[in-house]
Structure 1
Amino acid sequence: MADTLSNDDGLPLTSLYINGTYRPASTSATFPVTNSYTGRIVGHSASASSSDCVEAVEAAQGAFPAWESAPLAFRRDVLLRTAAILEGEEWKEKAMRALKEETSSTEGWALMNVLSGPGSLRNVAGMVNELKGDTFPSVNQGGTVFVHRRGQGVVFSIIPWNGPVTLTARGVAIPLICGNTVVCRPSEYSPRIIGLMVDAFHQAGLPPGVLNFVPMSRDESPTLIQQIIAHPLVRKITFTGSDRVGRIIAAEAGRHLKPCLLELGGKAPAVILEDANIEDAARSLIFGGLLNSGQICMSTERIIVLRPALSALLTSLKTHISHLKLGSPFEPSNHLSALFTEASAENVVRLLRDARDKGAELIVGDATREGAMVRPHLVVGVRPGMELWERESFGPILAIAVVDTVDEAVELANDSEYSLVSSLWTTNVHKAFEVGSRIRAGSVNINGTTMNSEAGEGQAGLGGSSGYGKFNVENFTDRRSLILHAEHESYPFMGLS
């Protein structure tokens, strides 16, 4: 099992998983995992060495030919059995505990992760229906072209901490259903919960070597990630996380001419037109902006409101914020808990103070923190030129810009290098489509939260700091052609007929 007891303090110890076997690091190295709310160590993880990483890549390559050629129904059924395991009470209980202990997830956010996991895996299992080829006549007289989709090889997938169940289902299961094998590096902040996902794949009968799991300490990660990317057997890299780290990974992959799929963040705008249903919009903004303390790539980070709607919107937002409960992730009634590190909390406070110093007004909140805890903030007058407008905050902030025209609202919505998701609020369906089509984002949710990802579409923006590519069949398979030539083909320019 991925989750065992250590001999020293009785806390959970997460193991490596290589070639179908759970094991410690070859150097016996481990690293601690700390709960950001209590500041206490809640577990330990094996920390992979260089030789462990090489072994994981080689195991994945060794398993690739058989996995790629396995019947589609076999690959599908492994994922369906994994989904069933995630629905078991024993797995859910372990996962809920791990989410709260490792990432300070509240009861609500932990439940959303755990309950969405089985559905995410079943959606991925259904992608077998997209693994189809094509047939058409060749440009060569009498020939026929057969195009089929094949796996690409070993995929190196780096999984974040903030939505570990659904993002593991995406970053691991989609490459797997497409016939690839995977080396998975979990966030050092959440190795146990991602290890529990790996364990579910193992219990479901995933063949040895198809999925390999190499947690590593924060200090060792830069060198080891560089080594894995450089390994000649690794064909593709996926990363979900900050654009700062994404740029480093993309540059390293570029050195070896290896493709990357990057999802790097968001600065999602919510545009509130003057005819919007203000109460519905406010409820959506509270959910989209403050769920998991704003630590989600689809969080509502910028609220752009037409001036006539401002007063009613502020009144509703303040009312809803006043009802939120903050505190320990182990208290089920709390809506918000600590951010994932004190450093993240300090960055959020810094952004708030910078905005205040440049003219924004703090309607709710005082730009302070208690350890890793930051209370919800409602800020009015945020504008381009403020760092809070430019950079993803990853914190519990509702930042409002006030405009006088729809054109100005669209211009501000598009004034970002992030283009992941957005939302638009209006009761006029014609205006919704006219204005929505002008907002540059991967998706525009009309009268709905930015916290939405349609199954099968693949979550991704339009490039830049939101990343590149989509988690779908197109991005994890190669289209290869078999060209059947006619018998006795002639080569006239060489005098051959």
Structure 2
Amino acid sequence: MSLHRSLHIDGTEVPALSGRTTEDVSPYTGAVYARVAAAGPEDVTAAVEVAEAAFPDWAALEPFARRRIFLNAADLMEHRSEEAAELMAAEVGGTRPWSRFNVSVAADILREAAAAITAPRGDVLASQERGALGLAIREPVGVVAAFSPWNAPLILGVRAVAAALAAGNTVVLKPSEDAPIACGLFVADTFKAAGLPDGVLNVVTNDRADAAVIAETLIADPRVRAVNFTGSTGVGRVIGTLAAQHLKPALLELGGKNSVLVLNDADVDHAVRAAAFSVFMNSGQICMSADRLLVHADLMDEFTEKFVARVAALPCGAPTSQTTIVGPLISANEANRVARQVSDAVAKGARLLTGGGQPDGALYPPTVLSGLPKDATLYHGEAFGPVAAITPFTTDDEAIALANDTEHGLTCGVITENGTHGLRVARRIRTGIVHVNDQSVGDEPQAPFGGFGSSGYGRFGGRWGIEAFSNTRWVTLATEQAHYPF
């Protein structure tokens, strides 16, 4: 029997005013996992109204009281790890390692946000007026509209709201239709149990057919003062355009076309392990996943042989199995999309080294290609699946040019045993994140997270997240009466 969940508004579960619901389908079984309320514009407006009413008290709450709620939420997140693993397996096909990673990082995000609440904020300014004190003060903006994706549901569901709430804002969260519970309602449940006041965090779930009108209604509401969105570049362009039309700041964390560079001074065995993790964790459904492996020609044969052998041995199958590494994609449609990308590449001259073929429902085998031609869809298109293409290079200049040959600019890994060499290369790669002697997937809540170009703009993480969801005000205090020219 499937679950039934309603909207989370003003701290309580309420049905959509229309009474409509929508199906939440398990990608591995294809069965209906849950039925959730399908909000309409009127429900969005109600959620924003509640958030606006809750804002003054939440913004005025003592910082140490707000911090205590966040620390409680972090502990609860960890205590609910088994529940979270079961939820992620059923709702998004998440494997055990991926679920554990989500719980751990989500809890760390909450603790980092808790620390930010009581961290120094603002500046004392020099003033040209005698006896005057100038202050730059950070203050919350009000109601924030947040959009969370399905692929890392706990991490990105928490990240969508944590900094905004820590800065003293209230939030209306619209989770992905593919994971309305894991990246929305589960987060709200955890905060409520931790003591978050009613109305501070509200969640509106929706039917996929209504996604555009729900987003438009939420962003257009004049009481919403800022927007954050994590998801695909295509949808991010729409969200960014809507926010701009209403002169609202937006933080966009979008897709990537990420590379791992294996330089000529790399440890090949380390490079193979790092690349396999980077490409195939969560079946490649991470914005930071690498689907381009750029390998120095001197190491190409050894790396390719060892990498293909490792990939071919990766356990695939049910996300509930303790041994599964590569589980299902989010849907059979997504698995078919990946299969079409691979078939297109092979038809245009790429060599299939392992994997390929047709999907089994939402399962697609881990796949490695070489000789990917520039006219293949996969050359510039984000794989967002368990696929990697290996390409050789002979010079650092060539490797950097290949890595930068994309409209995206999110993350990159540079594998080398020479840190100086790695840093020289890293500084020339146009990404918001780069890891030297490591692969492309990394998330630490105290670090600035975001990209350039079609990978979005703005930064989550640490003080950058707080700044994204607060206004800077200039306040002066005159300790002497000023003299005026008339």
> Normalization by structure 2: what TM-score?
0.96
The structure 1 residue matched to 2:225, chosen from 205, 215, 235, is: 235
Q: Distance in 1 between matches of 2:42 and 2:176?
A: 20
Q: Distance in 1 between matches of 2:265 and 2:120?
A: 45
| 1:27 is aligned to 2:2 | no
Letter in 2 for 1:424: V
Q: Distance in 2 between matches of 1:144 and 1:134?
A: 11
Q: Percent identity, aligned pairs only? A: 37
Give 1:312 shift: 0.7
Q: Distance in 2 between matches of 1:71 and 1:251?
A: 36
The structure 1 residue matched to 2:150, chosen from 149, 161, 175, is: 161
The structure 2 residue matched to 1:474, chosen from 463, 467, 476, is: 467
| 1:340 is aligned to 2:330 | yes
| 1:309 is aligned to 2:299 | yes
Post-superposition, which runs of at least 4 consecutive aligned residues in structure 1 deviate over 4 A?
Answer: none
Structure 1 spans left out of the alignment, 5+ residues: 1-9
2:251 is matched with 261
Q: Distance in 2 between matches of 1:93 and 1:352?
A: 35
Partner deviation per Cα, 1:29-53 (whole Å, 9 max, x = no partner): 1111111121111111111122211
- Cα RMSD, aligned residues only: 1.4
Letter in 1 for 2:472: R
Letter in 2 for 1:431: H
Letter in 1 for 2:46: E
Aligned partners of 2:108 and 2:445 also within 8 Å: no
1:5 is matched with none
| 1:60 is aligned to 2:51 | yes
2:177 is matched with 188
Which secondary structure does the structure 1 equivalent of 2:447 belong to? Answer: coil
The structure 1 residue matched to 2:319, chosen from 315, 318, 329, is: 329
Alignment of 1:129-278 (within 5 A): 129-193=118-182, 194-278=184-268
Aligned partners of 2:28 and 2:90 also within 8 Å: no
Give 1:486 shift: 5.2
The structure 1 residue matched to 2:98, chosen from 94, 105, 109, is: 109
Aligned partners of 1:383 and 1:401 also within 8 Å: no
Which secondary structure does the structure 2 equivalent of 1:220 belong to? Answer: helix
The structure 1 residue matched to 2:372, chosen from 377, 382, 394, is: 382
Partner deviation per Cα, 1:60-83 (whole Å, 9 max, x = no partner): 111111111212111111100111
Give 1:249 shift: 1.0
Q: Distance in 1 between matches of 2:458 and 2:122?
A: 21
| 1:124 is aligned to 2:117 | no
Per mean C-alpha deviation after superposition, the further-off stretch among 326-335 and 372-381 is: 326-335
Give 1:297 shift: 0.5
Letter in 1 for 2:471: D
Aligned partners of 1:131 and 1:149 also within 8 Å: no
Aligned length in residues = 481
Partner deviation per Cα, 1:348-397 (whole Å, 9 max, x = no partner): 11211222222211111234222221101111112544321211110001
Which secondary structure does the structure 2 equivalent of 1:22 belong to? Answer: strand
Q: Distance in 1 between matches of 2:127 and 2:420?
A: 46
Q: Distance in 1 between matches of 2:379 and 2:116?
A: 38
Give 1:334 shift: 1.4
Partner deviation per Cα, 1:142-170 (whole Å, 9 max, x = no partner): 32212211101110000001111111221
Give 1:187 shift: 0.8
Give 1:137 shift: 3.1
1:288 is matched with 278
Aligned partners of 2:105 and 2:443 also within 8 Å: no
Aligned partners of 1:84 and 1:118 also within 8 Å: yes
Per mean C-alpha deviation after superposition, the further-off stretch among 482-491 and 312-321 is: 482-491
Partner deviation per Cα, 1:400-431 (whole Å, 9 max, x = no partner): 11112111001111111111110111122221
1:400 is matched with 390
Aligned partners of 2:312 and 2:355 also within 8 Å: no
Q: Distance in 1 between matches of 2:447 and 2:246?
A: 29
Which secondary structure does the structure 1 equivalent of 2:390 belong to? Answer: strand
Q: Distance in 2 between matches of 1:69 and 1:481?
A: 19
Q: Distance in 2 between matches of 1:173 and 1:323?
A: 39
Aligned partners of 2:349 and 2:373 also within 8 Å: no
2:477 is matched with 484
The structure 1 residue matched to 2:40, chosen from 31, 44, 49, is: 49
Letter in 2 for 1:198: A
Q: Distance in 2 between matches of 1:175 and 1:157?
A: 9
| Structure 2 CA distance for partners of 1:131 and 1:44, relative to 1, 3 Å | farther
Aligned partners of 1:113 and 1:164 also within 8 Å: yes
Q: Distance in 1 between matches of 2:11 and 2:74?
A: 19
1:356 is matched with 346
Q: Distance in 1 between matches of 2:75 and 2:420?
A: 43
Aligned partners of 1:133 and 1:146 also within 8 Å: yes
Aligned partners of 1:304 and 1:402 also within 8 Å: yes
Give 1:120 shift: 2.2
Which secondary structure does the structure 2 equivalent of 1:119 belong to? Answer: helix
> Normalization by structure 1: what TM-score?
0.94
Q: Distance in 1 between matches of 2:114 and 2:448?
A: 14
